[in-house]
C-alpha cells in the first residue's frame, strides 16, 4: 500500500489528460482581397467548435462590409475539423469604416481577419468572442499588426499546453534564480532560431514527429524532476547543465511555434514586424509563467516548507502523465 496513493493519483490524472488540447493555436481566419477595383475575393477557414452541450458543431459565418454584396452564392466545403469557404464580392466605394469579421466566436477562441486592398497596406485584425468583427480603418494603423501578433504569441505560450508544461517542468527542475534565468534564456534563443528559420523557409520538419518529440521532451523533464527529488545528491547532466537541455529542446519547440504560426499566416508587407511581435509575445508569456511559478515556490518554501516537495512531486506526475498521453496520441493518432 506504500505507493497506492501514487497509483490512484496517476489514474486520475490520466483520465484528465485526454481533454487537454496541446499547442492549440488554430484560430479562424477570414480574408478579403481586392482582385480588381471593386472586385473582392473572400476566403475563410473556421474550425468546428462544439456547442455548450457538446452535441453538435456551431460554425460562424463571415460578416461582409455593408457596401459589399455576393456576386454568387458562397462555396463551402468541409475539411478535417474546419469549414472552408470562398466567395466573390462586388463592393461599392471604399471599405474604410466598414465592418468585417465573423458572426460569432465560440468560447475564448480567437480569429484573424485580413483586408488587402490593391493600392493600400494590408490590414490585420485580431477578433475575439467579445468582438467578432472589426472596423476597417480608412488610414491603416502601422502598429496594429505588431499589437495583434504580440497578443497571439503571448496567448500561445499561456494556452498552448505543451509549451507551457515544458516551461513549468524546466522551472521545477532548476528552482534556482540565476539558473532558471540561464535556462529560460537558452530556451528562448533556441526556439527563436528555428521559429525564424522555419517561417522564412530556411528550415522545416514534418509537424507530426515534431509534436510527438515535443511531448517526449515534457516526459523527459518530468523524469528528471522526479530523479532530482529521489536522489538530490546524484545530479545528472541535465541538472548540472540545464541550459544545454533547454537549448536543445528549444530548437524543437521552435518548429512547433512555427507550425502554429503558419496556420495563421503572416501579413504580406508586415512579415518582419509580425514575426518579431509574435516572438516577443511568446517571451512575455513565458516570463510571466516563470515569474508566477517562482513566486509560488518561494512563498511555499517560506510558509509551508514541508509541502513543497510533495506539491512538486504531484505536479510533476501530472505533467509526465499528460506528456506521455500526448506522445502516444501523436504517434498513433
DSSP secondary structure letters along 185-242: HHHHHHHHHHHHHHHTTS----HHHHHHHHHHHHHHHHHHHHHHHH-TTS--HHHH-H
Instruction: For residue 248, give the nearest of 293, 191, 201 by alpha carbon.
Output: 191
In angstroms, the CA 10 to CA 170 distance is 21
Q: What is the pLDDT of residues 75-103, one digit of tens each?
A: 888 876 678 899 999 999 889 889 999 98
In angstroms, the CA 292 to CA 288 distance is 6
Tell me what pLDDT residue 85 has: 92
Tell me what pLDDT residue 67 has: 93
Predicted TM-score (pTM) of this structure:
0.73
Residues (pLDDT < 50) of the chain are 1-24, 50-56, 108
247's CB contacts (< 8 A; 6+ apart) are: 186, 187, 189, 190
Tell me what pLDDT residue 9 has: 42
Tell me what pLDDT residue 53 has: 42
Which helix or strand (DSSP H or E) is residue 115 part of? Answer: strand 111-116
* Exposure letters 80-95 (e unless 16+ CB within 10 A, then b): eebbebebebebeeeb
With residues binned 3-state (H G I as helix, E B as strand, rest as coil), the percentages for the chain, rounded to 5, are 55, 20, 30
The interaxial angle of helices 161-174 and 207-230, nearest 10 deg, is 30
Sort 64 into a burial class: Cβ within 10 Å, 0-12 / 13-18 / 19+.
buried
Tell me what pLDDT residue 58 has: 57
220's CB contacts (< 8 A; 6+ apart) are: 245, 249
Tell me what pLDDT residue 109 has: 63
Backbone torsion region of residue 70, taken as left when φ is above 0, otherwise alpha when ψ lies between -120 and 50, otherwise beta: beta
Q: What is the pLDDT of residues 45-61, one digit of tens each?
A: 887 754 444 444 556 78
Amino acid at each position: 500500500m506504500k505507493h497506492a496513493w501514487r497509483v490512484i493519483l496517476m489514474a486520475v490524472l490520466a483520465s484528465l489528460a485526454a481533454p487537454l488540447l496541446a499547442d492549440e493555436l488554430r484560430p479562424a481566419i477570414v480574408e478579403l482581397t481586392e482582385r480588381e477595383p471593386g472586385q473582392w475575393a473572400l476566403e475563410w477557414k473556421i474550425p468546428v467548435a462544439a456547442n455548450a452541450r457538446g452535441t453538435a458543431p456551431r460554425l460562424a459565418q463571415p460578416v461582409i462590409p455593408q457596401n459589399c454584396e455576393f456576386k454568387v452564392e458562397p462555396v463551402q466545403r468541409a475539411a478535417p475539423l474546419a469549414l472552408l469557404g470562398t466567395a466573390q464580392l462586388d463592393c461599392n466605394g471604399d471599405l474604410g469604416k466598414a465592418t468585417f469579421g465573423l458572426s460569432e466566436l465560440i468560447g475564448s477562441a480567437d480569429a484573424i481577419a485580413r483586408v488587402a486592398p490593391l493600392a493600400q497596406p494590408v490590414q490585420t485584425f485580431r477578433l475575439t468572442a467579445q468582438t467578432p468583427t472589426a472596423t476597417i480603418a480608412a488610414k491603416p494603423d502601422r502598429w496594429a499588426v505588431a499589437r495583434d501578433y504580440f497578443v497571439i504569441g503571448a496567448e500561445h505560450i499561456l494556452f498552448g499546453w505543451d509549451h507551457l508544461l515544458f516551461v513549468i517542468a524546466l522551472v521545477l527542475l532548476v528552482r534556482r534564480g540565476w539558473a532558471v534565468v540561464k535556462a529560460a534564456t537558452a530556451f528562448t534563443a533556441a526556439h527563436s532560431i528555428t521559429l525564424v528559420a522555419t517561417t522564412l523557409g530556411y528550415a522545416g520538419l514534418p509537424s507530426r514527429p515534431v509534436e510527438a518529440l515535443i511531448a517526449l521532451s515534457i516526459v523527459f523533464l518530468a523524469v528528471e524532476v522526479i530523479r532530482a527529488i529521489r536522489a538530490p545528491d546524484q545530479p545528472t547532466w541535465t541538472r548540472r547543465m540545464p541550459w544545454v537541455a533547454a537549448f536543445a529542446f528549444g530548437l524543437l519547440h521552435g518548429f512547433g511555434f512555427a507550425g502554429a504560426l503558419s496556420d495563421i499566416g503572416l501579413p504580406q508587407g508586415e512579415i518582419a514586424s509580425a514575426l518579431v511581435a509574435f516572438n516577443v509575445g511568446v517571451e512575455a508569456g513565458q516570463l510571466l509563467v516563470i515569474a508566477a511559478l517562482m513566486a509560488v515556490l518561494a512563498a511555499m518554501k517560506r510558509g509551508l516548507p514541508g509541502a513543497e516537495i510533495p506539491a512538486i512531486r504531484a505536479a510533476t506526475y501530472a505533467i509526465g502523465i499528460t506528456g506521455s498521453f500526448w506522445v502516444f496520441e501523436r504517434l498513433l493518432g
